[in-house]
Structures are given as structure tokens and as C-alpha cells.
Chain A
Amino acid sequence: MSTSDKVLGWITHSYLVLFFAYLFLPLVFMSIVAFNSAEIPQAIPWQGGTLHWFHLLFQDEVMWEALLNSFLVAFAVVIISVPTGLCAALLLTRLHFRAKNLLYALMVSPILVPGIVLGISTFLFWDAQMNIPGGLWTAVMGQSSFIVSYCMLLIMARAQRFDRIQEDAAFDLGAGHGRVFWKITLPFLKPALISAAALAFMQSFENYNTTLFAIGIEQTLPIYIGTRLRVFISPAMNALGVVFICLTLCGALVYEFLRRKEAQ
């Protein structure tokens, strides 16, 4: 290895260390604050360890209500988005017509515009036109509008690799349309459907921009966090952050475990 390659390697590694420090240090600081007994969220000066903020967080009934709402909304979004995304993907991969590119552009447009645009229009559509005031239903509608597009793209990627001869063979053997779909097409798409459901759940659970405008006076967890961080900052939010980090790490470990098991 030449000297210039060594220097390049050294620069690359230092850069990567800096990059990952940038990614993780803020989260480390946030976690430290959750255990500091100072009233204002701060990491230094350290005023002694405490679990008080976790206690305070778990006693907050508004938080539990928002969490429940988040689960309800995410569940409804998955139920709506995965089948609709599947249908949209099948439509685009199997139907051949002239305006297909235009339809494709329309179908991906919801992920290409800011979430706030979807939120406001969804709220006005249901509130002013359909007389359904802002709430969990409008949040589901607003979120699904773009999450369907994500599901569609995910399912399309797999549907394009599907060999239609399998279906034709089943028809030749006398199976009906429904049976072919349930026994052949759907099992082939299953991995993509599972990923789509997971993505839809995460996207919904995380969503702030669209929900903030669509939901009216109700709260999901991100809306609750947003209100708390703007109005009254307390280390209880750091405690919530630590809960998120722990759940995430558990999720990552489980994922890695399953991946290794499958690889064996």
C-alpha cells in the first residue's frame, strides 16, 4: 500500500468516526439528561441520578391517551394502506394503457409534496365538505394518502419480478381467479406485504407534519411530544426519548437475530 493510500484510509476512518459521533452523541446527551435530577433539562452540571422523570412520564395520563391514539391510527392506516397499495401496484404492473405514466405520477405525488400540504387539504375536505370534524379519522385519511404510495412502491418492486406463467399454469389446471390469487399471487408477494405493513406502521407512528394539521384537537404521541416541547419543557420528555431508544435497540437486536438465524 502506498503512502497516499494510507493517508486516504486514515482520513476516511477519521471522517467515519466523526460522522457516527454526529449521529449518536446527541442521543447520548439526551439520555444522560433523563437521569439527571436537575429541574431544567440539562446534562451538566450533574445534580445526582434519579428515576423521577420516568415516574413522572408514566403517571401522565395525557401521554397514555396519546399513545393509545397513535396505536389506533397506525392500525387503521395499515389496514387501509397495505390492501390499497397492493391494488395500486397490481394495476400499474399488469394494466397497459396510454395514460399509465400520468397515473404513476399522480400516484407517487403524495410522497413528493410536503406533509403539511396533505394535512391541510385533508382537514378541509372532511371538515368543511363532509362534515366530519378533525380527529382520528382525518388523521388516518391524511396519513394514508401518502403511506399508500410508499406501500405501492414497495410491493411493485416485488410484483415486477413475478413470473405470470405460474398463474397461467394454475388456470390450465382448472383453478378460478380467486383461488389463483390467494394460492399463487399473494404468497409470492407476502414478504413485500409484510415489509409494507411494517413501513406503514412506522410511518404513521412517527408522523408529525400531516397529523398536526389534519387531526384537529385530538393528539397522537408525536403531537403530544410537540406540544410538550414547545410549551413546558421537562426532562420527562428525555425519559420518553430513552424509552424510544431502548425499544429501538431491542428491535434492532431482534432483527439482527432473525437475520442471522435465516442466514444459517
Chain B
Amino acid sequence: MIDNFGKTGTLVVLSLVGAWLLFMVIGPQLIAIDYSFRPLLPLRKIGGAEDIYTLKNYLTLFSNTLHRSVFIKTIWSSILVTSIATAVCYPVSFYLARVARGAKLSLMLMAIVVPYWINELLRIFAWQLILSDAGILNQLLMGLSLIHDPINFRAGNSAVILGMVYAYILFMVFPLYNAMESLDQNQVDGARDLGASWPTIHWRIVIPHAKPGIAVGCIMTFMLTAGSVAAPQLLGSPSSFWFTQIIYTNYETANWNLGTAYSEVLALLSLLFIFIMLKLFKVGLKDFIK
């Protein structure tokens, strides 16, 4: 029985948590996994002799060259977005955690949170207005006579990557900020008094202390980027196909089997990334989300 809860209390707690895990977490996952191991069959053949467990859907990821290259590109681009976001947010988080004080600090924190209350799709759409052929950037460059014809900024992956860094920056700033805030100022002052340079202080004191925050920020950013649907839909060009778009296409054409197999691959990829980050930064799942 749960401490101080009595029989009824314990029963209520266990049944609510049980219902959540069973109907929303474990049940749906088991169904999806079941689908992912079955072949795509016409309705009349489902449950028949051909409806057996197979690895066919998962193997398609390797045999279909388009799917394989999109998958690898998605991983690579997500790592790139995560790295850029870390580099961009590190100085900002450091400033917020160690330098800014009082009203200025709360104003800056507010200024970072406020854009995130605006719908993700609209935030990404704003970049479409900047980067499109008739967009602000091209108009500006042509107005300054720097170029004659509009540059297609949306060719390739750069627009998608830029939009994603913009869309998920908050998930990097706050974990870094939280981790750096708990650093003891005496450690920094001590190192300065002993003549350490700023790069040394960051490398030897701030970064080791901020490890759990860096890990959490990277995990959230990578997961959101690899699983992003809106940014590639709105900013992408035909050449910047994203793995989620392949899943969406299969979902739309009701190929649940391939769709679930690929979505399980995406889930495994996220879990693998978490595992690598936790090992790399030597932090446990417990320190992990605060």
C-alpha cells in the first residue's frame, strides 16, 4: 500500500496510472510493433496464410535506396541542427545564468519564452516569408543591387536546418541555463584569481558542471528535429525530403505496416541517441529531467 493513502487511495492511484500506461503507452506501442512485423495485404487476406510475421518492412529501409539515403540524411542533419543549437545557445545561457540579474534577467527570460507561445507552424512559416524567391531576403539583396536574380535559398537542406534551429532553440537554452545557474561562483572567481583564461574556465569548470544540461538539451533538440513534421513540410524543397515525410506518405496511403516499421525505427533512433548522450556525458536517467 502507498504510505498514508489507505486502501481506496492506493486503488485510485494504481488504476489511473495503470490505465494511462496500458491504454496510452504500452497498448498502442504493442499494436504498432505488431503491425510493423506484418506484410501489407489486401483486406481479404488479413488473418490468412500469408499474414505471418516478417522482417520485410524493416529491410525495405535498407533495400530502398531513396528511403535509405533520406534516413541517413535525416540523422546527419539532426546532428548538425543539435550542434548548431548548442553553439548558438551556450553563450546566451551562460549570460542568463551567470551575468544577467534582476529585472533584466526576467525580461530576457520572458523574451525567450514569448515566441514559443506562438504556434510552431506559424514560426516556421515566418521563415518561409524570409527565404522564398519573392521573400524579404531576396528583395533586400536585389534592392541593394547585390544580386540580379533571386537566389533559391530553399534548395537543399539549409532552409530546413535554419528553421529547425529557430523552432527548437528554447529546448536548448533552458536546460543549459538551469545547469549553469547552480554553478558555484567561487569556483569561477577562484580560477580567475589563479590566472585562468576564459576559455580554460569554460572548458575546465563551466562545461563539466553543465554536462547534464547539455545532455538534456541535445537529447530534446535531436528528438524534436529528427521527428519534425512541420519544418520540412513548410520549408523543404523536393530535394530536402525528411524521414518523417516518408512515414507521412505511408500513413496517407494507409500502408500502416511500412509506416509503423519506420516510426519504430525513428523511436529506436531517439532512444539510441539518448543512450549515447548519457554514456558520453556520464549522466544517469535520474539527473536527466528536472
Contact = CB atoms under 8 A, between A and B. Distances in A.
Interface of A: 8, 12, 15-16, 19-20, 22-24, 26-27, 29-30, 33, 40-45, 83-84, 87-88, 90-91, 94-95, 101, 104-118, 120-122, 124-125, 128-129, 141-142, 144-145, 148, 153, 157, 164, 167-168, 171, 176-178, 180-181, 185, 202, 206, 208-209, 212-213, 221-222, 225-226, 229-230, 237-238, 240-241, 244-245, 247-249, 251-252, 255-256, 259
A87 B28 contact: no
Contact of B166 (A22, A29, A30, A124): A22
16 contacts: A16-B92, A19-B92, A44-B139, A87-B13, A88-B20, A112-B274, A120-B260, A145-B20, A157-B290, A181-B5, A206-B119, A213-B248, A222-B119, A229-B234, A240-B122, A244-B122
A244 B126 CA distance: 13
A141 B24 contact: yes
Interface string B132-145: 00111001100100
A154 B97 CA distance: 21
A15, A125, A185, A255 interface centre (most CB from chain B within 10 Å): A125
Given A16-B92, A27-B115, A113 B267 contact: yes
Given A121-B32, A244-B122, A256-B110, 19 more contacts: A15-B92, A23-B115, A30-B125, A40-B134, A91-B13, A105-B285, A106-B21, A113-B267, A114-B266, A120-B247, A144-B24, A145-B24, A145-B25, A148-B20, A153-B289, A167-B4, A226-B233, A237-B122, A241-B118
A212 B244 CA distance: 12
A181 B3 CA distance: 12
The 5 tightest CB contacts between A and B, nearest first, are: A114-B227, A177-B6, A121-B28, A26-B126, A121-B32
Contacts of B113: 252
Contact of A29 (B14, B24, B117, B130): B130
Interface in B123-170: 123, 125-130, 134-136, 139-140, 143, 166, 169
Contact of B260 (A95, A124, A171): A124
Nearest to B29: A121
Contacts, number: 249
Given A87-B16, A91-B14, A112-B219, A244 B290 contact: no
Contact of B256 (A124, A181, A230): A124
Interface string B1-39: 011111011001110110111011111110110010000
Given A27-B126, A113-B271, A148 B24 contact: yes
B2 A95 contact: yes
Contact of B271 (A26, A43, A112): A112
Nearest to B117: A248
Q: What is the predominant secondary structure among interface residues of chain A facing chain B?
A: helix
Contacts of A121: 28-29, 31-32, 260, 263
A16 B95 contact: yes
Contact of B127 (A26, A87, A128): A26
B35 A124 contact: yes
Contact of A244 (B6, B16, B28, B117): B117
Interface of B: 2-6, 8-9, 12-14, 16-17, 19-21, 23-29, 31-32, 35, 88, 91-92, 95, 99, 106, 110-115, 117-123, 125-130, 134-136, 139-140, 143, 166, 169, 198, 219, 223-224, 226-230, 233-234, 244, 247-248, 251, 256, 259-260, 263-264, 266-267, 270-271, 274, 285-286, 289-290
B3 A164 contact: yes
A87 B12 contact: yes
